[in-house]
Structure 1
Amino acid sequence: MCRSMQRIDINSASNYESAVTKHSDIEVSIDFERNILSGTTTITLESREAQGVAELVLDTSLLEIHRVFVSDSPARWDLKPLVEPNGRPLHITLDNVYSLGETFTVDFQTKPNSTGLQWFKPGQTDDKKYPFMFSQCEPVHARSIFPCQDTPSIKTTFTIRISSVLPVVASGVPEHDLVFPLVNDISEAKIYTFQQTVPISNYLFSIASGNLVGAQITPRSYLYCAPGDLEACKAELQPDLEAIMASAEKLIYEYPWPWYNLVILPKSFHLGGMENPVFNFYSATVISGDRENISVVAHEFAHSYSGNLVTNASWEHFWLNEGWTVYIERHILRELRGEDERTFHSIVGWQDLLYGIESYGGDQSPSTRLVLDFEGQRPDDVMSKISYEKGYTFLCYLESILGQKEWLRFVPHYFKTFFCKSVDSSQFKSCLFDFYASDAEAISILERVDWEAWYHKPGAPPKPNFQCKLYDDCIQLTNRWTNLSTQSMYRPSPQDMRGWTVAQILVFLDTLIRSPNQIPLDYVKQLESVYGLAKSKNLEVISRYLRVALRANDRDAIEPTRKVLAETGRMKFVRPLFECLIAVDGKIASETFQELKDFYHPTCVRLIENVLHGKGLLQA
């Protein structure tokens, strides 16, 4: 049997077990001169204690608290000392037991080093004209933007009012025109209001403000980006979007928000995408000119269900967010591009899982379990692709033993059962058993599952039986390259990759990177002269090509690597490129980081600082 799951979120200091946020009214002004937000949050609660509550504890980090009110009366409050990694809890004392209808209002101000916000001067933006700011709250950074119960187990509706001199998007349905006029005067601030009537966790709160233009690209979607990028973004994203949405709806149920909008952020955004409701945030690297990043859009849209509607109760159960999302993403790929495409990405994901396990300490590391343990650690430092792919593998395993037809009956049931709720791994198991309670054969199958091993055993799970010629072709070409020698009969040819997708090229390069047989420098040059990889406009391709080149100690790759590092803050590219650059020239790597650190997101900065510290290239 599966051991019982604790329902306590150790990453929150709030007393959410006693009182639950039901509605949050946030009103802030954006100050681009001082890089701060200032304003108020007003919280409406529901008590979970029969005898009522006399104190409210909220999570904060790097916030200034000015005043606190209970309804309209000043309240006693105390901002407690810093306790890493959870920040400084704000204790608000009531003179009476909380009664229904009372609200808590906190006047606050962020600090310029807020971990949940990134600020750009005009010169750091894509068009170099106006400043830009955006938020990234997942997993525990909402508390650095406003006082809240910063745990995914709490869900709240929102009213959001933002004052800014530049256009604003936020995680709610806008109460203003969906298309912004062109920016030509930033002398006067405007108020932008958003309503979020579907309860969401605080980590899904979002805000971005800058020189944004928008255009409607489907009947229920708008696209936002810098003015000069609009046509390229439309060409990249418009053709597949409705089909992506329809595929997910067919699998689960109708999309629950009135709009699904996409926001292309400046190039320093450190993630591929972030599933903020109504307005998904995307990395500029998704716009590659070849429509080959469809899986990123499928993934972020899938989060509309797994994560945004049905949410992991705490970050230990992160696999429930991401494993389900990868499952939906690959279902979409199968619907749009066939079974081979789904299988191909599943095999790639399995290889990523093995690589992730190795990177996070190997088969015995607690960080490689499905159900994680964050005691004394920052979730940012433990959460990884392992949860995505190990979670996906587990769901595929359940599908295989129950049969696809039976499993697909369960999928919408799961999302209906936990609609607008948070769920942990034991509840997922119970839901599965409850659904098949009248099916003795299914119950017998589920009882034979080693739930303890799947949830808590570190390392790789049993290998799925994935077979795909598209993938095998990539490995065969890699093997030819890693066995290249003067005696070899094989000579690289442009025909080697004829008809290949970008995803196949990535597998070829990834396998070269991971191969113990390093290809010689002379042959690295042929990757460019024969295949033209260095000329690719897709950063997925060019970043991997540069890693292969740096691994062969190709110093000609140093400047192109520095150029890429100056063009993107996406951690998927930044960290491995820095690691490879360090191996070739640590001094240049350290200097490059010092030049670019103001360009990167705070989470990315901390990650690269850790890498440089580990190599003795940065003073603690």
Structure 2
Amino acid sequence: MILARLLAAALVFGMAGQAVAAPRAVAPILARADAVDDQSYARPREARVTHVDLDLAVDFASKTVGGTAALDVQAAPGAKEIVLDALNLDIAKVTDGAGKPLAWALGATDPEKGAPLTVQLGGAKRVVVAYRSRPDARALQWLAPELTAGKRKPFLFSQGQAINNRSWIPTQDSPGIRQTWTARIVVPEDLMAVMSADKLTPKGEAAGAGKRAFRFRMDHPVPPYLIALGVGDIAFRALGPRTGVYTEPAMMDRAAYELADTEKMVTTAEQLYGPYRWGRYDVLVLPPAFPYGGMENATLTFLTPTFITGDRANVGLVAHELAHSWSGNLVTNATWKDIWLNEGFTSYVENRIMEALYGRDRAVMEADLTWDGMQASIRELGGPTAEGTKLYGSPDAQMDYFKGETFLRTIETIVGRERFDAYLRGYFDRHAFQPQTTAAFLEDIRAKLIRGDAALEAKLKLDEWAYQPGLPDNAVHLRSALLEAVDQKVAAFVAGTPAGQLGARDWTTQEWQRFLNNLPRKLTNAQLADLDSAFKLSASTNGYVRTAWLELAIANRYEPALPFLEAFLGSVGRGLFLRPLYQGLMRQGDWGRPLARRYFDASRAGYHPTVASSVERIVIGT
């Protein structure tokens, strides 16, 4: 990769062939060839967005968000236009900050990437776009009251990662183009708006008949996918001096109980990797349709309610999203090919937080499950030589998490925890509020940790980890004695021990996952009935356990589980749970395929657009 260290003198060529000097404040990393984002139309070295002011009204009747986005632009000398990302936005007009019309054009639309919105600057340093989203905006999910916990009022939430926010915000939607922002959001007066920023009007302010407005401000530059919105019947409860939970009143008690350790998690993370730099850390527990486990929106993590199981067994999800406050939000992947720099780092930090709070046994158990998941992903991707098993540029999200975490754990084991912790803390400090590429990370670790030690370089095998498929032979596998004991129970059950004699009633989520995932895929109906009778797995309120059980039931065409499968698919929207169940049904041919289509047709209205489209590809093949 070519380093562009002489940034001030660098020349960048526009699409029309003209040479323009790079803007002064562009992050140095963006001048690198490996930082060019092929998922965005933006040309940030010519003209880039530095700040966004949103003034939007939420209309539940039309399922649209409309108003203005005012963009502060930093253009290089000689740059005549700025290119934004837009996905199915209805643009009314574009002006400068004084209201003077600016010429603009939308290019050809790609169904995934959207269209380039090119604005002729005419010297303007501020561009104001008047627009409205469409009802099918990919980032937005509009929920009818019956799809919420309270069943009384509608709900709206956004999910921006990876390139969805361009469907409701016309900006340069690329993770490396960090932007500060403000927002004024007008909503029905009986609803609350929350966003991933400082809340300037916690109770809102009058905004006309039947409306109120909420104002927000984010002073730190963030990747635009972290601009997030939630609107609904939302209440708040403090969890600690700088932590709290937002959710529907009907869910508040259960959510607050599960999140009791959130303040401790923030303190623990700071002790490991330096100060939390975002002010407050709150969470928004969403309706079940939320498509992910969590989303690390700065200052306000969005969480699925499926982590709530009454025993705090799944709070590793909270630790993961908090860890993103360092890896992802503070230091961000410059392109989506580098996403492992977010997710692999975060999974490693999550495990360290869990160890510090809950002990070594818990952390090793979760790390061992990570190894299981990685091996399963490698098999599904076609084996250790498959391109999808690479870190850099892998199309498989699981490898970003599993292989990335294992890579960092391997470094820790080789160099020692104290030395690696010192490096990571310095890494987050050196690159705070900046994007990062895989190649630049490798340069950093070589300069700051390896320091020319050829023997250490050979032991670490950095390039093999980052760029080659499969696992290097130095990969560290932490083995859990607790899970090895579960493996013995698997063997005992297969050999004929009745389920009720396994001693499994007090198992954690992680132990149940190991047990169910390691059982043979072919069991008798009698064995399945024994398990279900002993532990009520079909009706489990633990989504992780229920999914693992239903995968096994589908593999064996165990029809007594089908009513519970149908109910589960219709009550959750988390892709992690849905995709393997639909895939399992489709693998069952004439038995499973009609079921998959029927369940999907009945449930898709409750799925986020991104999950609905991914499940549709599984079920329909489009």
TM-score by length of 2: 0.90
Residue from 44, 51, 54 that aligns with 1:23: 51
Matches within 5 A, 1:136-535: 136-165=159-188, 166-177=191-202, 188-238=210-260, 240-372=261-393, 382-436=395-449, 441=453, 444-446=455-457, 448-462=459-473, 463-481=475-493, 483-484=494-495, 488=496, 490-497=497-504, 499-512=506-519, 515-516=520-521, 518-535=522-539
Residue 308 of structure 1 and its aligned partner are, at CA, apart by: 0.7
Q: For 1:312-364, what per-residue CA distance to the aligned partner results, in whole angstroms no more than 9, with x for missing partners?
A: 01010111000110111000111011112111111100111121223334333
Deviates more, 1:536-545 or 1:216-225: 536-545
Tell me: CA distance 1:343–1:2, structure 2 relative to 1, closer, same or farther (3 Å).
farther
**Cα distance in 2, alignment partners of residues 5 and 504 from structure 1:** 45
Q: One-letter code of the match for 2:51?
A: H
- Secondary structure, aligned partner of 2:137: coil
Q: One-letter code of the match for 2:95?
A: F
**Cα distance in 1, alignment partners of residues 44 and 501 from structure 2:** 60
Q: For 1:516-565, what per-residue CA distance to the aligned partner results, in whole angstroms no more than 9, with x for missing partners?
A: 5x121110111122233334321211222222222221111111100011
Aligned residues: 586
**Cα distance in 2, alignment partners of residues 85 and 588 from structure 1:** 29
| Paired position in structure 2 for 1:379 | none
Tell me: CA distance 1:65–1:362, structure 2 relative to 1, closer, same or farther (3 Å).
farther
- Secondary structure, aligned partner of 1:74: coil
Residue 84 of structure 1 and its aligned partner are, at CA, apart by: 4.5
Q: One-letter code of the match for 2:106?
A: L
Residue from 116, 140, 145 that aligns with 1:89: 116
Q: For 1:407-443, what per-residue CA distance to the aligned partner results, in whole angstroms no more than 9, with x for missing partners?
A: 1110110000110000001111121122237x564x6
- Secondary structure, aligned partner of 2:606: coil
Tell me: CA distance 1:535–1:565, structure 2 relative to 1, closer, same or farther (3 Å).
closer
Tell me: CA distance 1:590–1:535, structure 2 relative to 1, closer, same or farther (3 Å).
closer
Q: For 1:188-217, what per-residue CA distance to the aligned partner results, in whole angstroms no more than 9, with x for missing partners?
A: 111100010111000101001011111112
**Cα distance in 2, alignment partners of residues 94 and 276 from structure 1:** 31
**Cα distance in 2, alignment partners of residues 250 and 497 from structure 1:** 36
Does the CA-based 8 Å contact 1:521-1:549 persist in structure 2? Answer: no
RMSD of the alignment, in Å?
Answer: 2.2
**Cα distance in 1, alignment partners of residues 38 and 57 from structure 2:** 32
| Paired position in structure 2 for 1:378 | none
Residue from 58, 82, 88 that aligns with 1:62: 88
**Cα distance in 1, alignment partners of residues 430 and 138 from structure 2:** 34
Q: For 1:149-184, what per-residue CA distance to the aligned partner results, in whole angstroms no more than 9, with x for missing partners?
A: 111011111111100012000111001237x89xxx
**Cα distance in 1, alignment partners of residues 430 and 315 from structure 2:** 29
Does the CA-based 8 Å contact 1:289-1:537 persist in structure 2? Answer: no
- Secondary structure, aligned partner of 1:69: strand
The alignment status of 1:110 with 2:121, answered yes or no, reads no
Q: Which runs of 5+ in 1 are unaligned?
A: 374-381, 615-619
Percent identity (aligned): 29
Does the CA-based 8 Å contact 1:5-1:424 persist in structure 2? Answer: no
**Cα distance in 2, alignment partners of residues 495 and 81 from structure 1:** 61
Residue 126 of structure 1 and its aligned partner are, at CA, apart by: 2.1
Residue 52 of structure 1 and its aligned partner are, at CA, apart by: 3.3
**Cα distance in 1, alignment partners of residues 255 and 151 from structure 2:** 19
Tell me: CA distance 1:535–1:83, structure 2 relative to 1, closer, same or farther (3 Å).
closer
Does the CA-based 8 Å contact 1:356-1:384 persist in structure 2? Answer: no
Q: One-letter code of the match for 2:81?
A: E
Q: One-letter code of the match for 1:578?
A: Y
Tell me: CA distance 1:367–1:128, structure 2 relative to 1, closer, same or farther (3 Å).
same
| Paired position in structure 2 for 1:376 | none
**Cα distance in 2, alignment partners of residues 228 and 530 from structure 1:** 31
- Secondary structure, aligned partner of 1:267: coil
Does the CA-based 8 Å contact 1:262-1:282 persist in structure 2? Answer: yes
The alignment status of 1:39 with 2:67, answered yes or no, reads yes
Residue 5 of structure 1 and its aligned partner are, at CA, apart by: 6.3
Deviates more, 1:273-282 or 1:582-591: 582-591
| Paired position in structure 2 for 1:545 | 549
Residue 400 of structure 1 and its aligned partner are, at CA, apart by: 1.6
**Cα distance in 2, alignment partners of residues 242 and 217 from structure 1:** 7
Tell me: CA distance 1:63–1:520, structure 2 relative to 1, closer, same or farther (3 Å).
same
- Secondary structure, aligned partner of 1:269: coil
**Cα distance in 2, alignment partners of residues 187 and 229 from structure 1:** 30
Q: One-letter code of the match for 1:81?
A: A
| Paired position in structure 2 for 1:600 | 607
Does the CA-based 8 Å contact 2:95-2:101 persist in structure 1? Answer: yes
**Cα distance in 2, alignment partners of residues 397 and 580 from structure 1:** 33
Q: For 1:16-38, what per-residue CA distance to the aligned partner results, in whole angstroms no more than 9, with x for missing partners?
A: 12122211111110000000000
Q: One-letter code of the match for 1:455?
A: A
**Cα distance in 1, alignment partners of residues 541 and 501 from structure 2:** 18
TM-score by length of 1: 0.91
**Cα distance in 1, alignment partners of residues 33 and 268 from structure 2:** 33
Residue 123 of structure 1 and its aligned partner are, at CA, apart by: 2.2
Does the CA-based 8 Å contact 2:47-2:81 persist in structure 1? Answer: no
Q: For 1:263-319, what per-residue CA distance to the aligned partner results, in whole angstroms no more than 9, with x for missing partners?
A: 111111110000111111000111111111110010011111111111001010111
**Cα distance in 2, alignment partners of residues 36 and 596 from structure 1:** 22
Does the CA-based 8 Å contact 1:354-1:460 persist in structure 2? Answer: no
| Paired position in structure 2 for 1:377 | none
Does the CA-based 8 Å contact 2:291-2:608 persist in structure 1? Answer: yes
Residue from 600, 610, 618 that aligns with 2:617: 610
Does the CA-based 8 Å contact 1:213-1:224 persist in structure 2? Answer: yes
Does the CA-based 8 Å contact 1:2-1:426 persist in structure 2? Answer: no
Q: For 1:578-618, what per-residue CA distance to the aligned partner results, in whole angstroms no more than 9, with x for missing partners?
A: 2233424322221111111111111111111111134xxxx
Deviates more, 1:314-323 or 1:449-458: 449-458
- Secondary structure, aligned partner of 1:14: coil
